[in-house]
Amino acid sequence: MAGPKGSKYYDVFLDYSIVLRERNTNQSILTQEQLCLLLNIDELESIAASAKKMDISYRKAWELVRRAEEELGFPLVSKSRGGSDGGKSELTPDGKQLVDAYRQLRNEFNESVKRVVKKFFQTINK
């Protein structure tokens, strides 16, 4: 909510995404969708469960991981095949470091954006 009830900005909100891009070509290396998938894999330890949570196919989830690994040049996810307990997907140490740094970055962005957006909407709601 960006304004008092009944104001012209009442149903407006600001959203943003963080995308990592290659410096020279400006091509996406890690999109918001890929980062979200990695966060879910870290939490759920399953690509299938992460895909389901994001409402994407298992195949698309693996493609997102594969493209990210290809662009970055190192593995992000390791998998073990199931046995009696089923399979498991975990972030590699590099993947975990990336996800932890992204969480911290996102938290800092959220704090800053909230402050700046509040000021913005206060200005336009005068």
| pLDDT at position 84 | 57
Tell me which residue of 73, 91, 59 sits closest to 30, measured CA to CA. 73
| pLDDT at position 126 | 75
Q: In the predicted model, what is the mean pLDDT of the chain? A: 89
Alpha-carbon radius of gyration of the chain: 18
Residue 121, pLDDT > 90, answer no
**Domains defined for the chain, CATH in brackets:** 29-115 (1.10.10.10)
Model-wide pTM > 0.85 = no
72-116 pLDDT, tens digit each: 999 999 987 765 566 789 999 999 999 999 999 999 999 998 888
H helical segments located in 9-92: 32-44, 47-54, 58-72
